[in-house]
Amino acid sequence: MGIPMVATGRRWLTVGLGVAILLLALAAGAGRATAEVPVIAAASDLQFALEEIAARFRTDTGQDVKLSFGSSGNFARQIRQGAPFEMFLSADETYVLELARDGFTRGDGDLYAIGRIVLIVPHGSPLQADGLLDDLAAALEDGRLTRFAIANPEHAPYGKRAEEALRHKGIWEAIESRLVLGENVSQAAQFATSANAQGGLIAYSLALSPKVSALGTYALVPEEWHSPLLQRMVLLKGAGPVAERFYAYVQQPAARTVFRRYGFVLPGEEPIN
């Protein structure tokens, strides 16, 4: 009786080991499949445009990318600290060129778009959507303005350009104490179109999205009032084949059409009036 029991135990041990090995193999395969989905760091002004482009990429290629939106300055810092991004789309090419200089990228990348800023005011605001900011200046003087949203100029390119435009108008010092700062321009847009502020300077690409445009009215700020928003993308050192394909896809006509629809000026094209 003892011998059959031992044999049975060995048989079950063998089967158990086989099942365990199979499960480990399946888990490893699933891990590889997950690892093959590249994480793309993208400036938050691209939120609506790039989500649409990524969906088209998925339809056309059967491959997926994971999009992470935030401020370009914060992403540049995270990349230097070893964040596992495979591609970086910055709202200011300076961050890409500095990363390239310091050896974090595959070359200098490519200019993919030029951005614009707008003044947006929510429905019911005492402000007018005046691109020359005349009413904004008047509201500072007559007390109508108490809170105004921009992205943080320290690490968000659209926030920096908003500061430049306000300085150009000569109202930066007067408005600075009334600013509500978003961590990125997407958060600034949320503030500007909610009870958190009476308006704000945000990305044109966000204002054109149905979700944001339904919340208020907007007007373009003259591009001469701030330094250009030259937006550059680059593959990072650890980029895999899916990220490479997505990088190429972003430069194709289908993607360029999406960028254009969200108000971006494309390299070689005339600026928006």
Determine whether the annotation assigns residue 72 to a binding site: yes
> Does residue 216 contact residue 121 with C-beta atoms inside 8 Å?
yes
Smallest Cα–Cα separation from 185: which of 46, 79, 75, 67? 46
Residue 3's CB is within 10 A of a number of other CB atoms, namely 7
Order of strands, edge to edge, in the sheet holding 200-203?
179-182, 148-151, 200-203, 117-122, 216-220
Ranges of H-type helices in the chain: 2-35, 47-61, 72-80, 93-101, 134-142, 157-169, 172-175, 185-192, 204-207, 210-213, 241-249, 253-261
Question: What CA dihedral angle connects 225, 176, 78 and 229, to 10 degrees?
Answer: -10
Collapsing DSSP to helix, strand or coil, 185 comes out as: helix
Binding site membership for molybdate: which residues? 72, 185
Binding site membership: which residues? 72, 185
